[in-house]
Chain A
């Protein structure tokens, strides 16, 4: 008799929040991780040497304020469940940074990748971006870190995109079902980032029906080469599981085996559960597959009850389409500096208009975003945002690497804003300060 031993020391923050839901029949309900827990218990994961379960810590209000502008404030938007979910990612990332573990997987809920910088309410079951909250907390402690977030949820990680839009120290790669066919309707190839992070936001929209072959093709031929160029200090996988062929909300054909292989090849330091609502047919197997892959254990025997490789094979059309998309996106990555010269250089500000719909809470928001093009730093930026509930705010962000003139400009803007705003916020990431004016 030989006991299983993990090759990589793996920390699991498994927090199913069995007493939390959005509403009784909502996909984000108490039952979501119940069968995953059953599967992990029955497989005896907790007895494997090198794998250990941990409780989440609790994120603090200031951890949220470092990333989000909650309107009117953190207290009125964020519940304990969100602080715990973010705390689970913080705990996981801290364990990785202190080398207490080689890798960590945060299986917490609610998810976060649809939560953008301005928060009026719940979007796509998310209120705060749990990964971003953890990354920014770690950066305050460990200084400059190049982080790559690879979002493998079926939905475009529009919240993560928004938060790191103007930050080239955080490469965001999202592959997802084409926004023309699925919420949130974004995530197209031409969404390349703001002037401070131009080209460091990479979207790969995939056609409905994409299977193992397609996902792994994108990984091998696009994601891995980009990561080789980028050389991140940390790789984080936003491991949404709704690409699964049984997911009720989406139309993809991915599998537990596929997720495990993807994870093994991507080799992330941290994985974070995002979406995934096939709670009986997918999550128990996908999560098991990811855990084994991260621990460096044999996952080849993990299979869904109704797994049928032949039936899930993607069509030739899809394969060809994905190859073309991959080529286009990779060429764009290679040309990002030229594109910057053509599209950004020489301009003082880049201004963008954006409409954001909060599907869970039914709120409509309009944003005017202004990014300063600064040759000394990432550049100060503002969001002028109003919603259909009568809020009109100004949110100012001074980036971590701000030069003194951008820093001054941020504070000047905060002090001199007109009275037409209901709230004005200043996020000073240089001094880790957050100010609110009503």
Chain B
């Protein structure tokens, strides 16, 4: 039995799934002033009259970290940044206190200029005096050589609640993003830590002592303990929950578009051969571009309650929601009103009359009757989604590639179907089907799709391995692994090692089933110095891709 919660900005959804069957769901409003209580009481209500001994895991998608960042309720962070030569760096000052230090490491991981230990000690004192509680330490190319970052951590000692080292955040190269990611990780550390401790304690008091997993933005989960170390990974898990929900309710292994059409927004996702598309580098939160792995998702300001305006005699829907639909006493006509007028949405006579009144005003200007106006509104909505999708697909299919093979023969994303959830899904499906010439599917029951997604999401991870056989060094920054290898180490050795590392890590963190690790990128370059080969530069990325713990039974999603 899996118990899952998806906490969104407005609502919190809960679900219990047992052997592919949804046995209980609830929905309550989110109390943004007390997120812990919101989760705690939802869980309590969910578990009422249930056999707690049958619970195997609890999956939570929370907005604890997201809210802390968005509402600026964060720990004061001191950033120590070693920029080395290159771009201007003043703009990286994201902490309450910031120190740009001397020393530098180059792209091969060579220490070109040593760091100054006295400088660090002085910065530590300054931070303490300024009331700094957490630190972020990031040096350029630290993924290639984390020596300076770890030395700085040791020099800072235990005067800070947490110190995030840049190289532990991601193996990808991108110094500014690494700075912001480390900053955010330290900034939300105490909020998430307190939340995690409380939730664990409260559940134990309820007699529930099972593993707790937290949903990540990449559609996977991580253990509560791992999340306490890397709380930044728990940001913006909401879209991932709804994405996983659509996958669970409408499984497919084709290229597909997934849509979650709500009242205010439409979230768009893509599958390539059934596998989720990721953001190339990581997710953006507020003004911060990060290295937090995330599912590719685009939110457009278009939903059932989006307000409708006439601009130059053309219908414009959204991007704002100015209130309820006109029929329910809102200020503006909305697509929901149009659905009522067309009889696609049931409404009492009085309510429907108000919807007609709203559309009449628009129809008069356009010289259309009410029915024609309503049809035009829904058609416009379909057109907007269509053109957005076309633009996104064009962008996705022109992502930079670096080999002749990829450029000439690389996979292009060509959706074969559209899977939709959300209030207007059923009504918009036939419209989109006609507009895009693709079959559109929607589930009969989507109300707690997000919570279902959270419930069925399994753990994920990604590692980036870099091997330099001339220096005889193998590194996996995410696992803080830097080890010696023989100069004969090959690409196939690297792949094998990467898969083993994932399995080892999975076992260590108690992932309770056979994980399917896979290699997602592999390159090996001959390094030639002078006229001779001096070694190999091998790069391998491996992952456990997002997937479902169990399939929903077919009668659950028909």
Contacts and interface: CB of A to CB of B under 8 A. Distances in A.
A109 to B, nearest CB: 11
Contacts of B289: 47
A153 to B, nearest CB: 21
B91 A31 contact: no
B107 A25 contact: no
A166 B526 CA distance: 43
B533 A54 contact: no
A171 interface: no
B112 A297 contact: no
A80 B400 contact: no
Contacts of A46: 281
A305 B112 contact: yes
B402 A37 contact: yes
B527 A41 contact: no
Nearest to B94: A1
Contact of A305 (B92, B110, B175): B110
Contacts of A1: 91-94, 287-288
B174 A25 contact: no
A305 B106 contact: yes
Interface in B194-224: none
A285 B533 CA distance: 23
A95 to B, nearest CB: 13
Interface stretch (A15-23, A182-190, A369-377): A15-23
Contacts of A282: none
B114 interface: no
B86 A301 contact: yes
B85 A303 contact: yes
Contacts of A42: 86, 107, 140-141, 173-175
B401 interface: yes
Contacts of B92: 1
B402 A18 contact: yes
Interface stretch (B43-51, B403-411, B432-440): B403-411
Contacts of A14: 400, 402
B404 A81 contact: yes
Interface size class on chain B is 35 or more
A42 B143 CA distance: 10
Given A30-B526, A44-B87, A55-B407, A38 B107 contact: yes
B148 interface: no
A18 B403 contact: yes
Dominant secondary structure of chain B at its interface with chain A: loop
Classify chain A: how many residues form its interface, as a range: 35 or more
Nearest to B284: A47
Contacts, number: 119
Contacts of A80: 404, 408
Contacts of A297: 87-88
A1 B289 CA distance: 12
Interface in A7-54: 14-20, 24-25, 29-31, 34-35, 37-39, 41-44, 46-47, 53-54
B402 A29 contact: no
A256 B262 CA distance: 52
Nearest to A81: B404
B40 interface: no
A17 B404 contact: yes
A25 B398 CA distance: 32
B91 A3 contact: yes
B526 A19 contact: no
Interface string B520-532: 0001011110111
Interface string B72-95: 000000000001011111011110
B86 A288 contact: yes
Contact of A4 (B91, B110, B141, B533): B91
A55 B177 CA distance: 23
A30 B525 contact: yes
B176 interface: yes
B537 interface: yes
B508 interface: no
B531 A19 contact: no
B85 A47 contact: no
A14 B407 CA distance: 12
A129 B89 CA distance: 38
A245 to B, nearest CB: 16
A284 interface: yes
Contacts of A272: none
Contacts of A280: 107-108
B528 A54 contact: no
Which of B104, B288, B403, B532 has its CB near the most chain A CB atoms (within 10 A)?
Answer: B403
B403 A17 contact: yes
B526 A24 contact: yes
A41 B175 CA distance: 8
Contacts of A2: 91
Contacts of B108: 35, 280
Contact of B404 (A19, A53, A301): A19
Interface centre among A1, A80, A297 (most CB of B within 10 A): A1
A24 B405 contact: no
A34 B525 contact: yes
B88 A301 contact: yes
A80 B406 CA distance: 12
Contacts of B408: 58, 80
Contact of B175 (A34, A43, A284, A285): A43
Contact of B176 (A34, A37, A47): A47
A67 interface: no
Given A30-B526, A54-B398, A43 B404 contact: no
A15 B141 CA distance: 22
Interface in B370-403: 398, 400-403
Given A42-B141, A43-B86, A55-B400, A31 B405 contact: no
B368 to A, nearest CB: 38
B186 to A, nearest CB: 15
Contacts of B173: 38, 41-42
B91 A301 contact: no
Contact of B537 (A20, A34, A298, A301): A34
A332 B514 CA distance: 78
Nearest to B532: A25
Nearest to B140: A42
Interface of B: 83, 85-89, 91-94, 104, 106-108, 110, 112, 140-141, 172-177, 281, 287-289, 398, 400-405, 407-408, 523, 525-528, 530-533, 537
22 contacts: A1-B93, A3-B91, A17-B402, A17-B403, A19-B404, A25-B528, A25-B531, A30-B525, A30-B526, A31-B537, A41-B174, A42-B86, A42-B141, A43-B176, A47-B174, A47-B177, A84-B404, A280-B108, A285-B85, A288-B86, A301-B85, A302-B86
4 tightest Cβ-Cβ pairs between the two chains A and B: A44-B176, A41-B173, A303-B85, A19-B403
